Amino acid sequence: EVNMKILSIETSCDETSVAIVEDGRKILTNRIYSQIDIHKKYGGVVPEIASRNHITKLPYIIEDALEETQMRLEDVDAIGVTNGPGLIGALLVGLSEAKAIAYSLDKPLIGVHHIEGHIAANFLQYPELEPPFLTLVVSGGHSHLVLVEDYQTFKVLGRTIDDAAGEAFDKISRVLGFGYPGGPAIDCAAKKGDPEAIAFPRVFLDKKEYNFSFSGLKSSVLNYINSKKMKNEPIVVNDVAASFQMAVVEVLVKKTIACAKGIHMNKICMAGGVSCNSLLRQMMTDAAKEEGLSLYYPDPILCTDNAAMIGSMAYYNFINGAVSDLSLNGIPGLKI
Ligand code: KG4
Ligand code: ZN
């Protein structure tokens, strides 16, 4: 279909976002209301507070999106919405709104998998990009290596067996006193520290497998900090941040490159909040160049949670017949 405009809604965590995307590739508007400042004082996202803020903000964000594009709800061709994975209360707010719009205007409703949405952010950034490609998806809740065979076929080749990469960033940030969200704070502190100051472990698991594990690294950093405190020795937080970040990034880059070579895939994408990380971008760029692989990653605003990526994926679901009905439900642990 040509000139198909999808209104999309994303409320799976702490961003209330509404976008209008044309034919899966062109962003007409991408409004993001971040609740970070509200959750900051609790050190992380409080699910109930997230749901309540989605409820109060979502109608206004929709209005903003329509105003920016000079469109009316009647002008959109379909409604896309994240239905999992995510916080159930938060997901249900977006879903209820999407269903109400779809039902009242008799427009198609399209459920979107949040992780597939993250991957689709690359379609917005690179209009010529087409599957197949390998994607490293690293966010607050996920660390996956996903082979995108076509617009509807996603094969998970590796995943974290414990913590997600973003989860580790957030946890270490908290103990270093940087607060939430941890990724951007550690990224920034690491620039002022020495990545070789402390030899934190690199966990590769079985070399032939593409799974990740970050809980051992997390414990190792916590042990280091605790033992320093016990001995009353000073902690150079920037060095801890830089050394921790290097340990995460080295594993992510090596595993991704090994996976690409293992499956003979010369195209790599990155997706999810952690793919904003400046060291990850730089080291993956260098490694890809050295191996002769093409690398793609979206602008930071499209890496973290946003509705435009959901609108892109919704389009590919729609043209492949994956349309939902009003029984669409929120599924916190929705499998890819
Ligand atoms: O994709 P996202 O917005 O939400 C989820 O689906 O989880 O990812 C959020 C995660 C958080 O853990 C945050 O700390 C991390 O992405 N993050 C970063 C950076 N920016 C955000 N991690 C490392 N470096 C960054 N620059
Ligand atoms: Zn996300």
Q: What is the ipTM of this complex?
A: 0.99
Which among 39, 169, 249 is the best mutation to test ligand 1's pocket, defined by most ligand atoms within 8 Å of the CB? 169
Which residues lie closer than 8 Å to 259 by C-beta, 6 or more apart? 134, 145, 157, 158, 210, 265
Give me the architecture of the 5-121+303-319 domain, per CATH: 2-Layer Sandwich (3.30)
Q: Give mean pLDDT, residues 234-245.
A: 97
**Mean pLDDT score of the chain, rounded to an integer?**
96
Q: Give mean pLDDT, residues 192-215.
A: 92
Q: Is 139 in the pocket of ligand 1 (CB under 6 A)?
A: yes
Whether 82 shows a pLDDT value over 90: the answer reads yes
Peptide bond into 181 cis (omega under 30): yes
Compute the distance between CA of residue 299 and CA of residue 311 in angstroms, rounded to an integer: 16
What would the pLDDT profile of 276-294 be if each residue is shown by its tens digit? 999 999 999 999 999 999 9
Q: What is the dotted CATH code of the domain comprising 131-298?
A: 3.30.420.40
CA torsion sign, 236 to 238 to 242 to 245? positive
CB of 236 closer than 8 Å to CB of 197 = yes
pLDDT of residue 220: 97
Compute the distance between CA of residue 182 and CA of residue 187 in angstroms, rounded to an integer: 8
pLDDT of residue 227: 97
CA 231–ligand 2 middle distance (angstroms): 39
Which among 217, 274, 284 is the best mutation to test ligand 1's pocket, defined by most ligand atoms within 8 Å of the CB? 274
**What is the rounded radius of gyration, in angstroms, for the C-alpha atoms of the chain?**
20
Q: Is 94 in the pocket of ligand 1 (CB under 6 A)?
A: no
Which residues lie closer than 8 Å to 197 by C-beta, 6 or more apart? 236, 239, 240, 242, 243
The tokens 């249900």 sit on which residue? 92
Enter the DSSP assignment of 200: P
CA 141–ligand 1 middle distance (angstroms): 9
pLDDT of residue 42: 92
pLDDT of residue 48: 95
Whether 1 shows a pLDDT value over 60: the answer reads no
Neighbouring CB atoms inside 10 A of 72's CB total 9
What would the pLDDT profile of 92-145 be if each residue is shown by its tens digit? 999 999 999 999 999 999 999 999 999 999 999 999 999 999 999 999 999 999
Compute the distance between CA of residue 28 and CA of residue 147 in angstroms, rounded to an integer: 28
Tokens found for residue 21: 């995307």
Whether 209 shows a pLDDT value over 90: the answer reads no
Compute the distance between CA of residue 16 and CA of residue 54 in angstroms, rounded to an integer: 6
CB of 8 closer than 8 Å to CB of 121 = no
| % of the chain surpassing 90 pLDDT | 95
Compute the CA torsion angle 244, 248, 251, 254 (nearest 10 deg). Answer: -100
CB of 96 closer than 8 Å to CB of 54 = no
pLDDT of residue 124: 98
* Domain residue ranges of the chain, discontinuous segments joined by +: 5-121+303-319, 131-298
pLDDT of residue 208: 74
